[in-house]
Structure 1
């Protein structure tokens, strides 16, 4: 799916299942990345870094997971969603409100897309559509 300049409420709501799936996968990949990074740091700290093959394996794992994360973020970008907070799964989707640019605001865990904010505001100022 290619990004649109703006989405209607119905169009943006239709994206929610796809957004949910991608953001859940991002959360899994981020945990994998964090775990691999911690293991690499631990490997470096113990016994002068340990066997080079183990360090190389962990570095390769980090690179692989990082590429997966980049791919998922790029997929969100292709549909027009902007990740505002990866930890909470907060994304904005472009729309218009009264002829002015605005953002739909959706967060992982929200049952549906129901909020918006202006382009000069953020999550704290989101309002019911």
Structure 2
């Protein structure tokens, strides 16, 4: 578990601990966005009739895809659920009054400000109280 990630040893986040984890992850998330775009551009250039890219060819694509996998693994290590890659969607397991919830951050959000019940998913997203 990441520092500050556990609540009573259960692996649950509080809004405060999830925000701290998000701050820690920002450099990784920023790199993930860049590598995601590079990988997509390189993949498109390798398709029949694809436009060449200044980023390189097959070796660069393989390196970029490998780095993307590493970043995804690193983001998920502290118990964070990476639910989407484009756009990035992170869920932090939590508990509100005995109800399992996920604190939710979507790429572009300035702060961790949303949650949804674990059984409802993104469609049940609500502002944090």
* TM superposition score normalised by structure 2: 0.78
- For the aligned residues, what is the CA RMSD? 2.1
CA drift of 1:14 comes to: 0.9
Matches of 1:114 and 1:32, distance apart in 2? 29
CA drift of 1:24 comes to: 2.0
What residue is the counterpart of 1:41 in the other structure?
47
Gaps of 5+ in 2: 51-55
Q: Which residue among 30, 33, 39 is the counterpart of 1:24? A: 30
The answer (yes or no) to whether the contact 1:20–1:108 under 8 Å persists in 2 is: no
* TM superposition score normalised by structure 1: 0.78
Q: Please give the per-residue CA displacement for 1:52-97, whole angstroms capped at 9, x wherever unaligned.
A: xxxxx72222211111011111111112221222112211111111
Gaps of 5+ in 1: 47-56
Equivalences, count? 117
- Which structure has greater helix proportion? 1
The equivalences for 1:1-129 within 5 A come to 2=2, 4=6, 5-42=11-48, 45=49, 58-129=57-128
> Runs of at least 4 residues of structure 1 off by over 6 A?
none
Q: Please give the per-residue CA displacement for 1:8-45, whole angstroms capped at 9, x wherever unaligned.
A: 11101112223333222111111111111122225xx5
Matches of 2:28 and 2:118, distance apart in 1? 24
Matches of 2:57 and 2:120, distance apart in 1? 40
The answer (yes or no) to whether the contact 1:114–1:128 under 8 Å persists in 2 is: yes
